[in-house]
Amino acid sequence: MVDKRKTPADEVVIAGRGLHTGEVAEVRIRPVAPGEGRFFVRMDLPDAPVIRARATFVADTTRSTTLANGDTKIRTPEHLLAALAMMDVDDARIELTGPEVPILDGSALPWAEALARVGLSAAYAPRLETTLEAPIWIPSMEGGFVAAVPSPELRFSCGIAFDAAPIGEQWFSFVASPERFLRDIAPARTFGTLADVEMMRARGLLAGANLDVGIVCDQTRWLNGPLRFPEEPARHKLLDFVGDLSLVDPLPRAHYLAFKAGHALHVRLARRLLEGG
């Protein structure tokens, strides 16, 4: 049976503070017609400019992903986009009253739970499904990589390696489904070391950060545990990976892998996929 494109069955409204700007914004996710895709609308700006959730609109990847259309920007959409993609939302109008998507508790769980509550409306239009035909490998100068290999199932695997002992080296792998996403990936919160937090604040970032929007460790222990999972940092990196790859629509069925990667490397892979590999 051919799968159908889906949109939220009702509106989802959530407000909160942006992680880096510290600005409060309301997000309103609205149903749209099949085939419109996922797109943002800056309701706080004149003429309500639109930015499509596509890798071609990525303007910056410094500590988060930033989408832009001309002078209009939207920062840190990756958690929300991961929730939309993994909860099977193909088409959605995402209205935003500020420059940054709220960080909430640092995870995608509030988005995913809200989408699960309202449910989905299946359209008459079929969902286009594609498969990856040949492997893709993109290394980084720092010893990391992103890759995609042909696979009979949509799978994401992510590894990280940090000097800080509480994080160390971790891997997590996930076969995509709404149920698994809600249980295994969406609850994983953003994380960092105390040294990184102090460095970013010195650069004018993390204006909306506190110990309620992520987990922080020093070189020996977590400062605001307990963790939701033993490998919560790796799961969160996987969440970011999924969010950035959702900027490819449709995302070919494949096994996607990342190790010691960040938003810049994720987006390089996304753009390669848009180019056809």
- Report the catalytic residues: 263
CA dist 6 to 30, 178, 273, Å?
12, 13, 23
In whole angstroms, how large is the CA radius of gyration of the chain? 18
Binding site as annotated, residues: 79, 236, 240
DSSP 100: B
Contact 174, 155 (CB under 8 A): yes
Binding site as annotated, residues for Zn(2+): 79, 236, 240
List all residues 6 or more positions away from 93 whose beta carbon is below 8 Å from its beta carbon.
29, 30, 31, 32, 36, 39, 41
Say which residue the tokens 């809200």 belong to: 114
- Phi and psi at 236, nearest 5°, equal -70, -40
Q: For the chain, how many residues are written? A: 277
